[in-house]
């Protein structure tokens, strides 16, 4: 469904926050964010999280199962709203945006990669990636041309017409990555992107994330794997919904 607020799928409904210094504004700014799941007792999945991530950073969010990593990713990705605190994504105060504006922000500015790939079965890699541009209203042949270029970037030129079930796990994740970045979002969120992969395929996916980051995409990688995190230049450790430490190690040199 399209609303009457815009001629296309309403990304235009989100106005520019200020082009002059938007390059320097943090891509992510959380201030005292709380997310509590109701229950008896309630679960404080995020318990006062403050976090700033600048453009071009690559950040690992590390913590054991149940520590709040996915909840954090959902809040960063505007898939879920904080109960308290401030969430600014790419300059927008998310808490103040109506749902349709939030959807537009998400479609234009945030790419997602999940452990389980979530590709459409029976659909070629090319069309899976091109679907990442559906919100743009671009013509199908333009979407496909961009999808093809992005599949080249992830090294899958020779697999564009393969369907997910004809691809290995690592190749599927590279298709998912291509779909996530085909619209060139400033922020890429990856929840356990190597969790379902063997170590060699996982290494290829991580290498691609580094390449995308070097090209300017801000990346947040959620992982419980300390080996994966150790390769990232900044590591945020989370436990019981709180940030325990935030270190810049420079990762690999």
Site for ligand ADP, rule CB under 6 A: 37, 39, 43, 45, 63, 65-71
> Could you give phi then psi for residue 11, rounded to 5 degrees?
-60, -30
12: left (phi over 0), alpha (psi -120 to 50) or beta: alpha
45 binds, among ligand ADP, Mg ion, none (CB under 5 to 8 A by kind): ligand ADP
Which window, 4-12, 65-73, 97-105, 193-201, contacts Mg ion (CB under 5 A)?
A: 65-73
C-beta of 47 vs 231, nearer to ligand ADP: 47
Contacting residue, 67, 70, 124, 194, with Mg ion by CB under 5 A: 70
Would you say the C-alpha torsion 174, 177, 182, 184 has a positive or negative sign?
Answer: negative
91 binds, among Mg ion, ligand ADP, none (CB under 5 to 8 A by kind): none
Q: Are strands 58-62 and 218-223 parallel, antiparallel or unpaired?
A: parallel
CA dist list (Å): 21 to 31, 56, 203: 20, 15, 35
The Cα 143–Cα 78 span in angstroms is 25
Cβ of residue 42: shortest distance to Mg ion, in angstroms?
19
C-beta of 45 vs 53, nearer to ligand ADP: 45
Cβ of residue 73: shortest distance to ligand ADP, in angstroms?
8
Helix residue ranges, H only, 84-162: 99-109, 125-130, 140-153
Which window, 54-62, 66-74, 195-203, 211-219, contacts Mg ion (CB under 5 A)?
A: 66-74
């Amino acid at each position: 469904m399209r609303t009457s607020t815009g001629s296309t799928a309403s990304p235009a409904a989100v106005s520019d926050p200020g082009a002059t210094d938007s390059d320097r504004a943090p891509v992510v700014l959380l201030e005292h964010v709380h997310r509590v799941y109701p229950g008896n007792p309630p679960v404080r999945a995020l318990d006062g999280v403050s976090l700033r991530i600048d453009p071009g950073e690559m950040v690992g969010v590390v913590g054991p199962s149940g520590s709040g990593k996915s909840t954090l990713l959902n809040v960063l990705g505007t898939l879920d709203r904080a109960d308290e605190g401030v969430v600014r994504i790419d300059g927008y105060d998310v808490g103040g945006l109506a749902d349709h504006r939030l959807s537009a922000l998400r479609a234009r500015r945030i790419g997602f990669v999940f452990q389980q790939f979530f590709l459409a079965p029976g659909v070629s890699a090319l069309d899976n990636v091109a679907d990442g541009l559906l919100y743009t209203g671009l013509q199908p042949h333009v979407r496909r041309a961009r999808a093809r270029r992005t599949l080249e970037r992830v090294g899958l030129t020779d697999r564009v017409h393969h369907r997910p079930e004809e691809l290995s796990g690592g190749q599927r994740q590279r298709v998912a990555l291509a779909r996530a970045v085909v619209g060139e979002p400033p922020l890429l969120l990856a929840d356990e992107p190597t969790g379902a992969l063997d170590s060699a395929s996982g290494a290829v996916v991580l290498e691609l994330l580094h390449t995308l980051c070097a090209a300017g995409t801000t990346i947040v990688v959620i992982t419980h794997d300390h080996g994966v995190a150790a390769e990232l230049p900044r590591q945020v450790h989370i436990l019981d919904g709180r940030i325990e430490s935030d270190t810049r190690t420079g990762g690999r040199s």
